[in-house]
Amino acid sequence: MSAEAKTSLFQFTEFWDGRSGISFGVEGLLMSEESEFQRVEVVKTDVFGNLMLLDGLVMLTERDEFVYHEMIAHPALGLHPNPKRVLVIGGGDGGTVREVVKHGSVEHVDLVEIDGLVVEASKRHFPTVASAFDHPKLGLKIEDGLAFVKNAAPGSYDVILVDSTDPVGFAEGLFGRAFYEDCVRALGPDGILVSQTESPFDERFQSQIQAAHRTLGTLFPHVALYLASIPTYPMGTWSFVMASKTRRPAEDFDEAEAERRLAPFADGLKYYRAPLHRAAFTLPAFVNRLF
Ligand code: AG3
């Protein structure tokens, strides 16, 4: 095969800063629809499988979605003494709840996604991500996550996972104090909150990561950042913030206990494993200096 034949006809690039960004070889456009909230697009790529874009930002690819979804869900579920009730805000593709329902202790998970078109797009084009939508433990609600948490009964969840888009536009409130205060109230005594917080490498978001960390630090006794490597997100290194009412995110993690909990499904995990938990909280110097 000639070099030309291997080159795809179209490229899609998510520009990170200036004209630099990650570029995908596009083999076809599978969907492009406008919802009340955003443009939802799915393209077939050459190397990363199907790719979902919201307003032109990469949300997930079939090839590397496992990193994000395992890493937003399992660290908190491994740390909490007995996670039974879980709330996922955003995450309409279903990848996060797919991971949550693997835990035997979990009795119910509510998924609150503002945009029903994201759920539709995932069901149509990402069957392995959308695989838990019919799960008996799942309650799917197409509504605003901010209002949902504001109205949630006090202490009604053990773990809240915020699987949002970038902190711009309608998702901005999910990084703000009022929302975090509502989360504290909605969480039980050992409650844990995890939110995706963009790339620490990306100067556009550094001050927002710092602000989220600072705000959560006034509301929870323990707050820590952890990292995962996500090839298709801007700058490749991704951060999550964990805020916890009792257990310290890294120090109080019981690796042997986590091994026991993960055992029934550990073979299916591709990124998270119990010995990785503490390592993820061990930050490179440039990230450590942000706090
Ligand atoms: N949610 C976080 C994606 C943020 C990516 N940002 C970007 N590409 N600029 C992902 C949804 C997966 N459940």
For the chain, the domain total comes to: 2
Q: In this structure, are 53 and 168 located in the same domain?
A: no
Q: In this structure, are 218 and 146 located in the same domain?
A: yes
pLDDT computed for residue 155 by the predictor? 98
- Which residues in the chain show pLDDT less than 70? 1-8
Decide: helix, strand or coil at residue 8. Answer: coil
Q: HSE on the CB side for 125, CA within 13 Å?
A: 25
Token pair for residue 122?
A: 């995932």
pLDDT computed for residue 8 by the predictor? 62
Q: In this structure, are 55 and 188 located in the same domain?
A: no
Q: Which of ligand 1's atoms lies nearest the C-alpha of 232? A: 8
pLDDT computed for residue 111 by the predictor? 98
Tell me whether residue 55 is in a domain.
Answer: yes
Classify the phi-psi angles of 139: left when phi > 0, otherwise alpha if psi is within -120 to 50, otherwise beta.
beta
Q: In this structure, are 91 and 135 located in the same domain?
A: yes
Ligand 1, residues 166, 205, 209: which to mutate, most atoms within 8 A of Cβ? 166
| Contact yes or no for 115/37 (Cβ under 8 A) | yes
| Contact yes or no for 281/224 (Cβ under 8 A) | yes
Q: How far apart are CA 217 and CA 68, in angstroms?
A: 24
Q: What is the mean pLDDT of the chain?
A: 95
pLDDT computed for residue 144 by the predictor? 97
Ligand 1, residues 99, 165, 195: which to mutate, most atoms within 8 A of Cβ? 165
Q: In this structure, are 236 and 137 located in the same domain?
A: yes
Token pair for residue 241?
A: 């913030």
Q: How far apart are CA 251 and CA 159, in angstroms?
A: 18
Identify the domain containing residue 26 by its residue range.
Answer: 10-61
| Contact yes or no for 181/216 (Cβ under 8 A) | no
pLDDT computed for residue 97 by the predictor? 98
Tell me how crowded residue 106 is: count the other CB atoms within 10 A of its CB: 20
CATH number for the domain that contains residue 158:
3.40.50.150
pLDDT computed for residue 1 by the predictor? 45
pLDDT computed for residue 169 by the predictor? 83
Q: In this structure, are 30 and 82 located in the same domain?
A: no
Those residues with Cβ within 8 angstroms of residue 103's Cβ, 6 or more apart along the chain or in another chain: 77, 83, 261
pLDDT computed for residue 19 by the predictor? 93
158 lines ligand 1 (CB under 6 A): no
Classify the phi-psi angles of 92: left when phi > 0, otherwise alpha if psi is within -120 to 50, otherwise beta.
alpha
CATH number for the domain that contains residue 37:
2.30.140.10
CA 203 to chain centroid: 20
Q: In this structure, are 176 and 55 located in the same domain?
A: no
Digit-coded pLDDT (tens) for 192-238: 999 999 999 998 889 888 999 999 999 999 999 999 999 999 999 99
Q: Residues 40, 56, 210, 285: is their CA dihedral positive or negative?
A: positive
Tell me whether residue 230 is in a domain.
Answer: yes
pLDDT computed for residue 4 by the predictor? 53
Tell me whether residue 3 is in a domain.
Answer: no
Q: In this structure, are 72 and 118 located in the same domain?
A: yes
Token pair for residue 228?
A: 């995962």
> Cα(276) to centroid of ligand 1, in Å?
22
163 is catalytic: yes
